[in-house]
Structure formats: structure tokens, C-alpha cells
Structure 1
């Protein structure tokens, strides 16, 4: 991105670099210790963070939590030990999603800081490029984590108690939504990058993850419907 282009089209949000000077960017640990209402109020505010990337990561964490609930109920019914392994994976994924919510905000801080540099600074364009690549890498990691989540949900669907199998399906749809949102943020950052090799790699990753998530979500929901019916 050149010159004042950030004023017309800002990647991953509506923040202006000057907001850093006003001290409006909060610490990137955006979820720890917060109530749902407090987070939603921040999300609804004019502050630059949290934004769509953070929200997508939270949605992924909700999906993992739904899976954990199903495991907890299934475990009480004396189902097979595979549920314990699934639960371990789901807990790890949930923790990683919450971390990615913070990393998304931190990455955006980096983008804003890069654009704040004086326009005659010879390092400015390079630092902007680096910050945009880092900002695009976070949603890629989120999408990859959601693919792993869908894999666990596919495994969980036939093991789930019939009465709450629909919760596995809800988790699948949430995971797919988180992936789609994350990959949209990848596109938003690519739009302002200039490194053709980095752009090509990110586009390939985005396309692969999008196709894979569609296939896996469809399979998972099909298994849920079979379990219900």
C-alpha cells in the first residue's frame, strides 16, 4: 500500500494509524478474564481492535467447547476411551484459538505501527510488507486449526449421544464459519502486499484450506444427520 491508501482501504479493520498515538489500542490479550458482554461491547465499539479476526478465533473456540460438552456427556455414558483422546485434542485446540485471537490483534497493531513510520523512512515499505505478511499468517494458522477441529468432530459425530448429536453439527458449522472468516482476512491483507512469491503462497494456502474445509464440514454434518436419524 502506498501513501495515504490506508485511509481509503484499511486491511482487516477500520483503524487509522493515528489511533496508536491516542492510546486506543488495548493489550493484545483480548479475551483473558473478560466477560462475554465486555468483549462484545469492545467488538461493537469504534476501537480498531478487536475485529473480525479475533471474533473468528472466538467462534472457533466456541466450536471446540461444544465438542467438549458432547464428549463430557458421552463419557458419562461409559463410551469408549477414544472420547478421552478427542477431548485432549479439543482442549488444546480451544487454547490455541484463544491465543490466536490475541495474536490477531497484535498483528494488526504491527500493521498500524508500520504505517505510522515517516513516509521518507527507507525501511517503511519493507516493514509494511513484513507486517502484512505476519497479519495474513495468523488467519492461516486459525484456518489450519479449524481443519484439525473438523477432523476431531468427524471422529466425534458417530460416537456422540444421539440426543445431542446436533451440537456436533453446530460445532461443525461454527468451525466452517471461522475458517471462511479467517480466509477472507487473508485476502484483505494480500490486497496490499507486493511480494509476489509471498502472495502466491498465501493464495495457494487459502485455496487449499477453503476446499478442504468445505469437504470436511460436509462430511461431518452428514455424519451428524446419520447419527440423529
Structure 2
């Protein structure tokens, strides 16, 4: 399990010539880190009288940030497992027509899963970015840089995940599936653009 590894061991594994873990797992990790940082800023804001007027909202953000960080942490390992299933499908026998048909079906199923998972990662990261931008605006100003970093990590996670969606769609023959996924990708990109701009503007105002 990647998430159970020591950081140095994880980095060594990542830098090896093994194709997994790769960009998909790192995109999920970026989002998980952003969620955890968002939660930290919330905890530094909770029970602080200076921010008495936003306590209820901060508590809600904190609970959701913890949930998202946990989900994204699970996706770190799931992305690698999904990639391994794709590789396993390509290694299935193809000696007979029946073998070829079964192998082709297995590959398509595995590729769809490999597109859906990073799409889910991108969706979670988008929500982390939303929360981070809000916490940057209303949270403890002493941790404003942490909230900004949280948002930037989520932004990176979004694009990292979406690149993985796009590259996997190229191998999928189900055109309806592909078009639906592409539409979701474009919607996430549009929402991210607005949130990222907001994050940067708020950081400029709060941090300088």
C-alpha cells in the first residue's frame, strides 16, 4: 500500500522505472495534501474569537475537507491498482478468436475504469479547491499562505487527473462514454479556471 510507505520510500518507488505509481496517483496525492492543509487552516480558525462570525461555516468546511482528503488518499492506491488491471488485461491470451474477444472486452472495461477513477479524483480536487479558496478568504490570516498552497495543490491535482482521463479516452471505443467523459472534463476545467483565479486574487489581497 503506497499510503503506508515512508515518504522517502515512496519517492524512491516513484522515481524507479516502474510505470506505477505514476501521475494519476500523484494527482490524487496532491488533492489529498490540499484537503489536509485546508483542514489544518480550519482547525487554526476554530474557537478563535477573532473569527467568531464564521465558526459554523468553518466547522462545515473542516468536516468536508477531512472527508475529501481521506477519499483522495484512497485514490492514490486505487489509481495504481487500476493501472495494473489495465496491464493485466493486455497480457490476456489471444491465441483464438474467443481469446481475442475476451481480451478486447477486458481491455475496454479496464480502460473505462482507468478513465472514471481520475475523473472522480478531479471532482474531489475541484471541491478541495473550492473549500481552500473559501478558507483563504475567511480563515485565520496567520495561515493564509497554507490555505493558498492547499488550493494550488488541488488545482495541480485537477489537471493531473484530467490529463490521465484524456490519455485513457483515446483507447476507449464506446463513443457515448467518451463524449460524456469529455463533457465532464470541460466542465471541470471551466469551474477550475474561475476558482483558481479567485484563489490567486484572494491570496494577493490577504497575503500581498
How far apart, CA to CA, are the structure 2 residues paired with 1:195 and 1:82? Answer: 43
* Structure with the higher fraction of residues in helix conformation: 2
Q: TM-score, normalised by structure 1?
A: 0.83
Greater relative contact order (Cα < 8 A, sep 6+): 2
Partner of 1:61: 32
2:178 counterpart of 1:199 = yes
Separation in 2 of the partners of 1:113 and 1:159?
A: 48
Tell me the secondary structure at the aligned position of residue 81 of structure 1. helix
Kept in 2, the 8 Å contact 1:162–1:227? The answer is yes
| Structure 2: gaps of 5 or more residues | none
1:115 to 90, 94, 104: 90
Residues 101-123 of structure 1: CA distance to partner in whole angstroms, max 9, x if unpaired?
11111111110111011123121
CA drift of 1:76 comes to 5.0
Q: Are the counterparts in 2 of residues 146 and 178 from structure 1 also a CA contact under 8 Å?
A: yes
Query: Over residues 55-90 of structure 1, what are the superposed CA-to-partner deviations in whole Å (9 max), with x where a residue is unaligned?
Result: 111111111121122112222523323222111111
Query: What is residue 191 of structure 2 aligned with on the other side?
Result: 212
Distance 1:202 1:127 in 2: 20
Q: CA deviation at 1:137?
A: 0.5
> CA offsets, 1:131-164, max 9 Å, x none?
1000000100000001111221232122222232
Pairing 1:106–2:88 present: no
Q: Is the 8 A contact 1:66 1:168 kept in 2?
A: yes
Q: CA deviation at 1:187?
A: 1.1
Q: How does 1:121-200 map to 2 (within 5 A)?
A: 121=99, 122-200=101-179
**Structure 1 residue 51 and structure 2 residue 22: aligned?**
yes
Offset of residue 192 of structure 1 = 1.4
* CA distance in structure 2 between the aligned counterparts of 1:118 and 1:158, rounded to whole angstroms: 56
CA drift of 1:42 comes to 0.7
- Superposition pairs of residues 5-20 of structure 1, within 5 angstroms: none
Of the three residues 10, 30, 43, the one matched with 2:2 is 30
- For 1:17-55, what per-residue CA distance to the aligned partner results, in whole angstroms no more than 9, with x for missing partners? xxxxxxxxxxxx321x21111111111111232111001
Distance (whole Å) between structure 1 residues aligned to residue 140 and residue 60 of structure 2:
17
Structure 1's unaligned 5+ residue stretches are 1-28
Q: TM-score, normalised by structure 2?
A: 0.90
Structure 2 distance, partners of 1:141, 1:66, is 20
- Quick one: which of 59, 68, 73 aligns to 1:84? 59
Instruction: Measure how far apart 1:224 and its partner are.
Output: 2.7
